[in-house]
Structure 1
Amino acid sequence: MITLINRFEVTGSTAEFERAFAATSAFFASRPGFVRHRLLRHLDRPGHYVNVADWEDETSFHQALRQKEFAAHRAALRALSDSDPELYTPLLERVSS
């Protein structure tokens, strides 16, 4: 499994960003290898978001990015925000018992 951590700073309308992100979320959810994601909004800094997305493997993630349909999603998000995507591999997870 790999985890994408993508920080967004919205430069346009946050409502438009959230709509565009929801559409992008639906696109990714339909791709092979997608596991789950969460979009988090910062409590004290309006316009700051973090996407945490889990994928089965790096290949699946990159294949999703190469789909021609993703270009429109990428363009919509880039028009509304700056982002800093990074890939990580999980090392430790603990849940409440």
Structure 2
Amino acid sequence: MITVINRLTVHGDIPAFQRVLQGITAHMSSQPGFLGHRLYRSMRDPRVFIETAQWTDAASHRTAMRADAFREKVKDLGGLATPEPDVFETVEEDAPTAAERA
């Protein structure tokens, strides 16, 4: 599994940005290899968002990004936000067990 982490700094209308991003997410979530998505918003600077998406592998993500439908949706993002995406692999993970949470 790989994780795509994308920092997005909005310099346009935030609701318009969120609508465009929802369209991109809808497209990506229908692609083979897509596992899940989360969107975070900075509490310190509400113009900054962090998007994470999990994919089975980097090849599936690359294939989804090469699709014409993806490129059409992404071009609307350019006037609203500056994306800084990268692909990451998990090096270490520490999550409490159910007994530890109780």
Q: For residues 96 and 83 of structure 1, what CA distance do their matches in structure 2 show?
A: 32
**In structure 1, distance between residues paired with 2:79 and 2:31:** 23
SS at match of 1:77: coil
Structure 1 residue 52 displacement after superposition: 0.8
> C-alpha deviations, 1:2-53, integer Å up to 9, x for none?
1111000001000000111111111000000000110101012021000011
Q: TM-score, normalised by structure 1?
A: 0.95
Q: For residue 50 of structure 1, what is the aligned residue in structure 2? A: 50
Runs of 5+ unmatched residues, structure 2: 98-102
Partner-residue secondary structure (3-state), 1:8: strand
> SS where residue 65 of structure 1 aligns?
helix
- Which residue in the other structure is 2:18 paired with? 18
In angstroms, what is the RMSD of aligned CA positions?
Answer: 0.9
The residue number in structure 2 matching 1:63 is: 63
Q: Which residue of 2 aligns with 1:2?
A: 2
Structure having the higher Rg:
2
Secondary structure at the counterpart of residue 45 of structure 2? coil
1:18 & 1:96 partners in 2: Cα distance? Answer: 32
Ranges of 4+ aligned residues in structure 1 off by more than 6 Å:
none
Question: What count of residue pairs does the alignment treat as equivalent?
Answer: 97
Aligned-pair CA distance for 1:96: 2.7
Q: Structure 2 length normalisation: TM-score?
A: 0.90
